Amino acid sequence: MLQSFLPLFVMTFCICLFIVLMQFLWRYIDDLVGKGLGVDVISELFFYAALTMVPMALPLAILLASLMIFGNLGENFELTAMKASGISLLRTMAPLIVLMVLIAAGAFFFQNNVLPIAQTKMYTLLYSVRQKSPELEIPEGVFYDQIPGYNLFIEHKNRDTGVLYDMMIYDVSRGFENSSIILADSGKMSFTADKTHLFLELWSGESFENLKDAATGMKNVPYRRETFDVKEIMVTFDSNFNRMDEQGMRNQYVGKNMAELRATIDSVQQRVDSLGMEYSNSLRETPHMNIMPYRISSDTTGTRIRTPNPSVKMARAMDVDSVFRGSSSGVGINYLQTALAKSQRNKQEYEYRSLTMADDTRTIRRHSIELMKKFTLSFACIIFFFIGAPLGAIIRKGGLGTPLVISVFLFIFYYIIDNMGYKLARDGKWPVWQGMWLSAAVLLPLGIFFTYKAVNDSAVFNKDAYLNFFRRFFGVSETRSVEMKEIVMEEVRPAIALERLNRLKDMVAGFLADNPPSQSYISYWRKGYDRDSLHAIRDYEESIVERLSNSRDKMVIIRLMDMPILRSLWFIEPSSNRWLSNIMIALFPIGIPIWLYGRYTQKQLRHDLDTVSKVSSQLITLIENGTDKA
């Protein structure tokens, strides 16, 4: 198993890693193109990006590899041979289960020790690439705005000599109001030796410049016009690739291991608790109606003691309106404005405090999410194996086609749930542990279900089994099929057949007499139809059909096909669940749709029983006539 699985796992892991790496490339392609980056920088960025994408590629690779290996074993009947030799599916999976535990442990250490370093270097390098100036490639016939503070237009250029013709330069480096325009017949660009400045040499042109700074106190803004044969301009334009310091990213949550994450969470949580305590104390110590909630006193040693003031009891309720009636309108308005200003100041103060605590709470959530990710990847690897291996044994399809389709579908389902849980945890709508373990909680029952079905050789993808279940649940009638046998092992004895048919008619008549045609709402939920008696009739009917199917009379076989298949639905006798019946009786309107559907199924049952009685009478007549002829 290990020799078969390991090469396949390495192949699928490389394929999945390549796919997610291409996703990374498509996402950041705009930041990489046109920057003139060297192959070494691009290769380094892709290497760190590949390490960062391992948590996404590893579960998908395990799922695909386990589906393919067990699909191949099932398709080649090797699993069947193993089971025939007494080797169960779990025993077959045992070496790979041990391997999955080792991979999960390795994934944990990778998440804790390698991934923070890789993420720090990747994001630092990516931000450095974003900050790099684009490679200077002036297009023809359009304005070029990639030079900071300048917009450049050229009509056409000579690619052999590098000379630019019909140039127009807008210089807004000193602000729009102090902008200048330069027109030149031709020109040429070049970089300084250190590649930090752009040197422009212009020929045969003129320039126009606003002198807003010199127009202090003047009504009209002067401008300057200049005509030149040769003009040289030096523009700051750093085209070098400068790496950012990694320490800033190292202090973020993506660059920390478990110990550092826990230390940050504890420190920030302690600050939040202290701020909360401080804010609560300030609220408790705020005087109301000029009454202090605490009284400060000193003991014999001079130590200040704070004791709560006793509650103030008012003899009668305060009449606030009397304050306004006893003063002029201007004083009353002043009261209101003072109260409004005070409430606004308090509101702004508490909003500022809440924003401060919200930032710390967000920091705690971010670090907690990153801490949970150290464990969720390992658990996802094990879950995907227990989904892929049993599913491959069930579908028994090897190769890359069907397993790839199923793997992609399951992984997209996992990714959507995991991303939804992550966002709920990040936004604080759910606790962090609930959001981060949501995908595991959804997929774990699926893995247990597939493993149980595969171990017990159950038909999971047999559509007929599901159709029969829903057909029986909703009471869809089935058609009986009886064929005439060419070789009969046991002849039909007419006397015994007549006796059993008459007994079947008596059983049907007794059932119809004991169970009324229509039942009231309470009677339906308290009693219903007796399903035990119905089961006895159905079993007896099936035994008669099985015995009479040995008949050599074609008419008897045709009449047997008219014998209905009796259905025993829950709706016929809902009183089997006493607690449900009592609830439905108490909650009268809720059970009305079930009661109406139950009456419909009872009516259909009575019709089938009438048909059983009629067909039994016809069979009795046919058997008697056949006996008389004999």
Q: Which residues pair with 227 in a beta bridge?
A: 206
Binning pLDDT at 50, 70 and 90, where does residue 310 land?
low
Query: Residue 218: pLDDT above 70?
Result: no
**Mean pLDDT across 523-528:** 83
Mean pLDDT across the chain: 81
Higher model confidence: residue 377 or residue 464?
377
Question: Comparing C-alpha atoms, which of 171, 145, 142, 172 is closest to residue 155?
Answer: 142
**Mean pLDDT across 247-275:** 85
**Mean pLDDT across 447-460:** 79
Binning pLDDT at 50, 70 and 90, where does residue 630 land?
very low
Decide: pTM greater than 0.85. Answer: no
Q: Measure CA 16 to chain center.
A: 20
Higher model confidence: residue 570 or residue 603?
603
**Whole-number pLDDT of residue 604:** 86
pLDDT tens, position by position, 315-360: 777 777 776 776 677 777 888 888 889 888 888 888 887 877 888 8
Cα three-residue angle 287-292-293, rounded to 5 degrees: 100
pLDDT tens, position by position, 574-607: 777 777 777 777 777 777 888 888 888 888 888 8
**Whole-number pLDDT of residue 276:** 80
**Mean pLDDT across 373-399:** 86
Question: Comparing C-alpha atoms, which of 540, 514, 522, 512 is closest to residue 608?
Answer: 512
**Whole-number pLDDT of residue 58:** 92
**Three-class SS string for 231-286?**
EEEEEECCCCCCCCCCHHHHCCHHHCCHHHHHHHHHHHHHHHHHHHHHHHHHHHHC
Task: Calculate what percentage of the chain has a pLDDT beyond 70.
Answer: 85
Question: Comparing C-alpha atoms, which of 489, 467, 480, 454 is closest to residue 88?
Answer: 454
Query: Residue 421: pLDDT above 80?
Result: yes
pLDDT tens, position by position, 105-141: 999 999 999 999 998 888 888 877 776 655 566 778 8
Q: Cα-atom radius of gyration of the chain, to the nearest Å? A: 43
Higher model confidence: residue 469 or residue 51?
51
**Whole-number pLDDT of residue 216:** 55
pLDDT tens, position by position, 458-514: 665 555 555 665 666 555 566 788 888 777 777 888 888 889 889 999 999 999 888
